[in-house]
Amino acid sequence: MHTLSQLKSGELIGTKRLKLAEGLTDFPLEILTLADTLEVLDLSDNALSSLPDALVKLTKLKIIFASNNQFDTLPAVLGQCPELEMIGFKSNHISHVPENALPAKLRWLILTDNRIEVMPETLGERPRLQKLALAGNCLTALPLSMSKLSNLELLRISANKLQQCPEQLLQLPKLAWFAFAGNPFCESTLKVKSVPSIASSQFELAQLLGQGASGVISKAMWNGDHTGFPADIAVKVFKGEVTSDGYPEDELQACLKVGNHPNLVQSLAQVNEEGYLALIMNLIPAHYNNLGLPPSLDSCTRDTFPTGFTLPVTDIARMVEQMEGVFAHLHDNQVCHGDLYAHNTLFDENANIIFGDFGAASMYHMLNEQQQQRIRAIEQRALHHFIDDLLSVCAESDKASEAYQALAKRIWTEGI
């Protein structure tokens, strides 16, 4: 984090990254003094509503974030920035996206949680686009031109008002991570009762275990009798509003529809009270660790791993076999996970995995057979990426093995 005083004093000359969050209502023109070097500009968490035309002077700018501000229109000047490839304007008041606001080199566009009713047809004229997040808007249809987005890999369109399944998206050649729940075209009256409902007063939250876009997970203790439940539990309390992936209620229903599987976090009960939605789960043993790390700004859609992290090919093969079982179980239950990644997977020293985080999951039993097949094919690509990512951290001494070659061959022959 930098300060406005640092910027005005000239202390930041030469910097490549600038982050300012001081309740700004106007764009500080001193930012333009960084034009020779600035590549990443983060103006999130301010009160900005416009950007100056002079922004084009930042000729090296590649990334701009301006989430949690007061924009009602995506600034058209963004489309004139020659090197700009990543735009993040989440949680503003944007209702209008001008046709000329999307830069030619656009690779990553995040407009989650706004008020957008129409996206321009020029969206389909951005061939480098890999990641697109439009969840939590008011879209009733998507541009037909999106059928030309041949490099699009991750797409979030949940929690909108889409009336029909966007067929132009289902045959995109690289789409692998797709979230679409919470739209009229896939509305479901299904209320899964695969686990009992209990009162929030029956447990008490304790140690924080983690949190994501849709909720907070904590270790919990029972208050009194817990007959029929294990002693050790975790509770995910949903945040209750639209997230980067969609509505919490859709996540809960998809998770319950999938049911139990040896390699999934087991659901035990649910809480569905006014203002309080939660899922009670088995507590994952402490010896499990994260298999991967989320994508970086550079990798865009692909997982990353700690420096020096390697796996023997025997462990990789075992993990892949288990994930294939999870994949089959999900789609046998007509649920698309939408986020099939190593970073949503836990593993132990015996290469056993536990897969979770249904924040981007979408039920698709209401779609026609052809649409269902295409949804499954989309997530099949994510499974192939999962294999490919694990092979990227395979021990060097195992890369000539038959097991390695067999896994690699599957990706080559089946395609990604």
- In the annotated binding site for ATP, the residues are 236
DSSP-based three-state secondary structure for 389? helix
Its sign, for the CA torsion 340, 342, 346, 352, is positive
The answer to whether 310 touches 395, Cβ cutoff 8 Å, is yes
Nearest-CA neighbor of 128 among 160, 162, 95, 104?
A: 104
- DSSP secondary structure, 230-243, as one string: -SSEEEEEE-SS--
Nearest-CA neighbor of 327 among 379, 364, 367, 287?
A: 379
Query: From CA 293, how far away is CA 109, in angstroms rounded?
Result: 21
Q: Compute CA 395 distance to the chain's CA centroid, rounded to the nearest angstrom.
A: 29
Other beta carbons within 10 angstroms of residue 58's beta carbon come to: 22
Alpha carbon dihedral 387, 389, 395, 400, in 10-degree steps, equals 60
Alpha carbon dihedral 166, 325, 321, 373, in 10-degree steps, equals -30
Its sign, for the CA torsion 178, 182, 185, 189, is positive
DSSP 8-state secondary structure symbol assigned to residue 285: P
Element (DSSP H or E) covering residue 366:
none
CB neighbour class for 308 (10 Å; exposed up to 12, middle 13-18, buried from 19)? exposed
Annotated binding-site residues read: 236
